[in-house]
Chains A and B, each alone.
Chain A
Amino acid sequence: MKALCWEGVNELSVRQVPDPEIRNEQDVLLKVTATTTCGSDLHLIGGYIPAMQAGDVLGHEFVGEVVEVGSQVRKHRVGDRVVVCSFIGCGRCWYCAHDLWSLCDNSNTNPGIGSALFGYETGAVFGYSHAMGGFRGSHAEYVRVPFADYGAFPVPEGLDDDSALFASDSAPTGWMGADLGGVRPGDVVAVWGCGAVGQMAAKAAMLLGAERVFSIDRYPYRLRLTEQHIGSEPIDYSSTDVGAELRERTGGRGPDVCIEAVGMEAHSAGAHHAYDQVKQQLRLETDRPDAVREAIYACRKGGTVFVLGVFAGVVDKFPLGAVINKGLTVRGAQQHGQRYVPMLLDRMSRGELPVAHLATHRMPLEEGQRAYDLFKHKKDGCLRAVLHPGG
């Protein structure tokens, strides 16, 4: 089959790889119908997450049709149209049983790597390096889905693939930021990043009752799309002091909840961005935490900062003093998608959660390299490029 493979730093190819196969009795095989680029893929492509091998298949946000079912699969049949959560959860360990699915004890087949990096290993992710299990990604004609009864969900009639797709990762990740960030009715929320995840976090905050939501970015088209489709108030950090702006717009209090949806390759307007760039390139820090720092300083006293962006290792100049002296709650997580996907599919079906505008570009799998070029360099107003392996 054809697949979009990582071949080295900033080097991708679409080429033939062996077909996937059922390897455990609880697997299904899926014919991928739609799969999207994600900002977190850029960390892999750029070599910032160093557990990739040449030939690894990328992609973790997808929908497809079931074409083969393992002998112990109970909930799915050949022909079902399903959306699959990007994190693989067994459904029965303590973490899955407590809805902390990205922390699954039984899905990561390389536990020693994550354990060495983080103290304990995380669950596995499709197409997201050997530190996360080494499972093939979805930018392919077919993909194997382990523990399918727990991670694959039927797509409601009437919801198209290019919308349901975002229930795989962007929407549950964003929702989790607002939910576990503790957004309550009447809150003021600020979200760093106007990509798909940041937009979903902003909409989730509104649906959970936030009275005002601010969305922060530097690209006019992303700010415009967010204002138009999500309804949050845009702030362009390249032309204003974000901290001062948020302080002024919240009567001097600051946002109750600050959600960071940017990650390890953050940009910012200040001189500290150049500092972080140099340190990251010299590998004196693995991640650039510009947006996290800003969120911590901007957050109101006693507020909450939720880190949704992907970080891999260590950062420098982390404002721990602000955390302790302002009494902040700082929390982060990779997405516990399985707890949210059915609810999000319902909301998408009812039109409460707008996602159709996220897929700004649609193209066949063969144009995967071009898809990432458009997406990475923000060309042609690209928010998400969706690949259709079936053409």
Chain B
Amino acid sequence: MKWPIGALAVAGLAAGTVAARRKSAEPDRWLGVTVNLPPDEVENDPRLREAFATLAEDAETRLRPAPGGRGTELAAKPLQPPASGLGGAARRLAGRDPRQPVRSALRDIKSVLETGEVLRTDAPTTGKPTPGGMLVRLATRRAGGEGRL
């Protein structure tokens, strides 16, 4: 049973690392991405205005130049504060954490502005169900809205 033990160990390690990092974090902090394009170009792009308009119901948004001419920082702060503790963890697993759709939206708009598209992964070729595979499927379902953003 090398595989599930390994999966659990790494998942536990990752979760522990994230939890440790989040201990001192502001629960309603800004979530941000940097677009590798100049601020005037980003600001005037109708795709950004549309994305920020869509986000407006759920989050406050802002745009500012990145230091050193390194592009444009886009950020959003969910209006609804995330739950903490076990309740917060359960909401994250269930895909009901208010930060998740905001992170996904920021990642998507960054990709659209930089490349013109949001990359989709391949259709699954999944065979038999396994315990490890179930963990991976859960992780991939939440992966777009999770992470250090």
Chain A: residues with CB nearer than 8 A to chain B?
3, 5, 7-9, 15, 17-18, 20-21, 23-26, 46-48, 50-57, 72, 88, 90-94, 97, 105-107, 109-117, 119-121, 124, 130, 133-136, 144, 146-147, 281, 283, 286, 312-314
Contacts and interface: CB of A to CB of B under 8 A. Distances in A.
Interface residues of B, number: 50
B117 A8 contact: no
A52 to B, nearest CB: 7
Contacts of A110: 121, 139-140, 143-144
B10 A136 contact: no
B57 to A, nearest CB: 23
A71 to B, nearest CB: 11
Interface in B93-123: 107, 110-111, 114-117, 119-123
B2 interface: yes
Interface of B: 2-3, 5-7, 9-11, 13-15, 17-18, 34, 36, 70-71, 107, 110-111, 114-117, 119-130, 132-133, 136-137, 139-140, 142-149
Contacts of A25: 116-117
A15 B109 CA distance: 38
10 contacts: A50-B7, A51-B136, A56-B125, A105-B114, A106-B115, A110-B140, A119-B148, A130-B140, A313-B13, A314-B13
A94 B125 contact: no
Contacts of B127: 5, 7, 15, 54-55
A192 B125 CA distance: 36
A195 B144 CA distance: 36
The main secondary structure of chain A at its interface with chain B is loop
B131 to A, nearest CB: 11
Contacts of B137: 53
Contacts of B148: 115-116, 119-120
B9 A55 contact: no
B123 A18 contact: yes
Nearest to A105: B110
A5 B14 contact: no
A135 to B, nearest CB: 5
Given A111-B107, A283-B6, A54 B130 contact: yes
Contacts of B146: 111-112, 115-116
A98 to B, nearest CB: 9
A93 B149 CA distance: 16
A6 to B, nearest CB: 9
With a 10 A CB-CB cut-off, give which of B36, B137, B145 has the most chain A CB atoms: B36
A18 B148 CA distance: 34
Contacts of B142: 112
